[in-house]
Structure 1
Amino acid sequence: MSTKKVPQISTAAAGSGRPLIIRLGKRLRGSMNRISAAQSKIPNGSIIEASAFPWTDHLAENWQTIAQEAAAILRHRDAVPPLNDISPDHARIAGDGNWRSFFLVGYGYEVPENCARAPATAELVRQIPDLNSAFFSILEPGAVIPRHRGVTHGLVTCHLGLIIPDRPEDCVIQIEDTDCFWETGKWLVFDDSQYHEVHNRTDQRRVILLIQVKRPMRFLGRLANDLAIWGIRRSPFVQDARRNLGHWEEAYRQAEQNEAA
C-alpha cells in the first residue's frame, strides 16, 4: 500500500498569457476545423473505422500484453495523477479525481520513466505514425465526464479497450447523439472535436489505452495542422501539464519504493 503525497501543481493557468491564447485559439478553431475537414483523407464523421489506421491491427493483436502492463500500473493507483492535477485547463470536465491518466507520450513529449514502467506498450506506441499522445486512461466506478469537445478536428482519438466492466453497456461514451461502449481488445475511433460525454454507471473500473494521432490530410491541411499543433505544444496548455507530470513522478517513485521496502 502506498502513501500518497499530493504534488504541488502549477497554477500558471491563472497567468496573464493564458486568456489571450485561449481566446485566439477559440477564434481560429472554426476556420482550422473547416480546413481540416476539406483536406481530410479519411471520412469526417463522428465515428471512424479503425481500418482507416493500419497500425491499429498490430496493437489490437497485443492488447493482452498492454492490459497486463496497465494492471501493473494500477498497483499504485493513488500515485497516478487525476487529469485535473495534470492539466488545470481540464478542471471542468475532469471532476473530482475519478478520471486518472498515466502518460507515456503527451503532445509529442515522451515521459521516459513511465515508458520504462510499461516497456512493451511504449515500444508499440513508438511505431505509430503521426502520434500526438498515448496514455492509460483510468475511469473509476460512477465517474462522469461532462459533455465537451477537443481542441481540433486535426487530431483523431483512438481508444483500445483493456479493462472493461462486466456490463460494458453501462459504461458509455456518447459521441454527438450516438451511444458507444468499449470492448476488450477492440478499438473505438472518433473525432474528438465532436461533442462527447462519458458515464461509468458500474461499480468497476474502466481502463483503456488512449491514442491521439494527426488526421491524415492533403498537403495544405497537413501544413495548417502541423502549425496549429506546434503552437499548442508550446502553449501553457501543454507546458503546465509537463511540469505537473514531473511533480507526480516523485509520488509514483515513492509508491514503488514503499512497495519494495
Structure 2
Amino acid sequence: MAQDPRLTQIRAAMQRRDFASARAILADWPEAPALLAAQVAQLSGDIAGEDAALNRALAENPRHVGALLAMGDVKSRAGDDRAATSYFRAALNQAMTTQQPPELTPFLQRAQQWLAQSSARFEAHLRDKMGSTAALPRLSHAIDLLTGKTQLFLQQPSMFYFPGLPQRAFYEREEFDWLAEVEAATPLMWAELKARLSDGSDFRPYVETRTDRPSPNNPLKDDPSWGAHYFWNNGEVVDAHAAAAPATMAALAKAPIPVIRGRSPMALWSLLKPGTHIQPHTGMLNTRLIVHIPLVTNPDCALRVGPETRQWEQGKALIFDDSFEHEAWNRGKETRVILLFEIWRPEINAGEREALTRLFEAIDELEPPAPGNGF
C-alpha cells in the first residue's frame, strides 16, 4: 500500500520545525496516526492536543508501551503525579512481558527514575503531614508499603497454614523470658562446638537426597557447605551428639520445644561456609518459630526474612517465622555456625498445641515427614 503523501509532508514540516504547517495538515486529516499527532502536538507545546491524541492511541492499543510512556510524561508536565504514576507503572509492567525496541530503553529508565523521585516526594509529604505519629512502627510500615519503599510479605507455608496468627517476620529476644538462660550458655556451647569442629570432618549436608523421594530442587543439596549436626532429629535424640554436648542439651531443655511424635524436637548446629548462599524459600508451616543462637559468625553474614535483613551477633538470639520467604548468606571469610531449634508460637494456646500435636501425628500416620524438616 502506498504511503499517504500527507505523512511525508508532515515529517518534512517537522524537520523544518514548521509545526504550524504540520498542525494545519493534521487539522484536515482526523484519521492521521495518533502517535504522529501526539508528537506534533508535543513539539508545538499543545498539551491538550497531545493528551487527546495519546488517548486515541491508547484506545486503539491500551498496552502500547510508547504511548503509555508518553501519556505519563504528559500527566507529569501537567502536574498530575497520580495519573503519571499509573501510566509509567503500566508501561514498565508491560515492558517486562514483551520485548521492546532498544530506542525505548532510555525512556523506560527515565520512567523508573521519575517513579522513584515521585515516591520520595509522596513519602516526604505524608510524613510531614503526619508529624511524630508517622514514626509509629505499624504506621511507618504502612507508609513504606503505600509508597513502594518495601514489599508486602505474608506467611506462605508450603504444607500447613494455621489461621489467625499475626503476620510477624521477626520476634524480639525480650519477649521470651526463658531465652536469657539459653543465651547465657553460649560460652559453654561454643566450647562444645569447638571440640566438634576440631576433628576436621564436615557436618552432614542440611539438604540431602532421599532414595524414596524425588531429588530436591535445591542448589545446596548434598552439599556440606550448608551443614547440619543434629541433637534432635524428627523427634528422636541423636545419642552420640547429645552425650558430647551436655551444655547444649541443658540449654535446649529450657525452651518450649514441641514434642510431636516423628517430628519434634528438632535441634541442630547449622553451619554455613564462606561464600554460601541459601536461596529464598519458605518453611512447611506457620505454627512454629525458628530460634538461632549464633555461636560463631562474622559481619558479612546475614538473614533476610520477608522485607527485613538482620545480622547474627554471637550469643544474641534471632527468632523468626520461617513460613515467610527467607534467605541467608555468608559473604565473609569465616564459617558461621548457629544453634537452631524450633519453638511453639506464643500465640498458640495450650489447648491448640495439644490439638495440633494430635493433628500432625495423625497426618504422619499416612505421610511421614522428610528427615530434618521438623514439624
Task: State if a TM-score over 0.5 links the two structures.
Answer: yes
Q: Which residue of 2 aligns with 1:143?
A: 276
How far residue 91 of structure 1 moved from its aligned partner, in angstroms, is 5.6
How far residue 135 of structure 1 moved from its aligned partner, in angstroms, is 0.8
Q: Which residue of 1 aligns with 2:250?
A: 123
* Residue type of the alignment partner of 1:106: N
**Residues 3-23 of structure 1: per-residue CA shift (max 9 Å, x gap):** xxxxxxxxxxxxxxxxxxxxx
User: Quick check: 1:194 aligned with 2:328?
Assistant: no
How far residue 224 of structure 1 moved from its aligned partner, in angstroms, is 4.4
Larger Rg: 2
How far residue 79 of structure 1 moved from its aligned partner, in angstroms, is 4.4
* Residue type of the alignment partner of 1:150: G
Secondary structure at the aligned position of 1:162 is classed as strand
Q: How does 1:51-90 map to 2 (within 5 A)?
A: 51-85=174-208
User: Quick check: 1:157 aligned with 2:290?
Assistant: yes
Give yes or no for contact 1:59–1:124 (8 Å, CA) kept in 2. yes
Secondary structure at the aligned position of 2:266 is classed as strand
Cα distance change on mapping 1:232 and 1:141 into 2, 3 Å: farther
Q: Which residue of 1 aligns with 2:130?
A: none
* Residue 97 of structure 1, aligned match among 220, 224, 231: 224
* Residue 49 of structure 1, aligned match among 127, 150, 172: 172
Give yes or no for contact 1:107–1:233 (8 Å, CA) kept in 2. no
How far residue 232 of structure 1 moved from its aligned partner, in angstroms, is 6.5
* Residue type of the alignment partner of 2:190: A
Cα distance change on mapping 1:67 and 1:231 into 2, 3 Å: farther
Distance in 2 separating the partners of 1:158 and 1:172: 15
How far residue 130 of structure 1 moved from its aligned partner, in angstroms, is 2.9
The alignment covers a number of residue pairs equal to 205
Cα distance change on mapping 1:241 and 1:192 into 2, 3 Å: closer
Relative contact order higher in (CA < 8 Å, ≥ 6 apart): 1
How far residue 86 of structure 1 moved from its aligned partner, in angstroms, is 7.4
Give yes or no for contact 1:84–1:91 (8 Å, CA) kept in 2. no
Query: TM-score with structure 1 length normalisation?
Result: 0.70
CA RMSD of aligned residues (A): 2.6
Deviates more, 1:219-228 or 1:142-151: 219-228
* Residue 361 of structure 2, aligned match among 230, 238, 246: 230
Q: Which residue of 2 aligns with 1:172?
A: 302
Q: Which has the higher strand share?
A: 1
* Residue type of the alignment partner of 1:104: F
Cα distance change on mapping 1:193 and 1:227 into 2, 3 Å: farther
* Residue type of the alignment partner of 1:78: S
5+ residue gaps, structure 2: 1-156, 259-264
Give yes or no for contact 2:202–2:227 (8 Å, CA) kept in 1. no
Q: Which residue of 2 aligns with 1:182?
A: 312
Distance in 2 separating the partners of 1:137 and 1:91: 20
Give yes or no for contact 1:93–1:148 (8 Å, CA) kept in 2. no
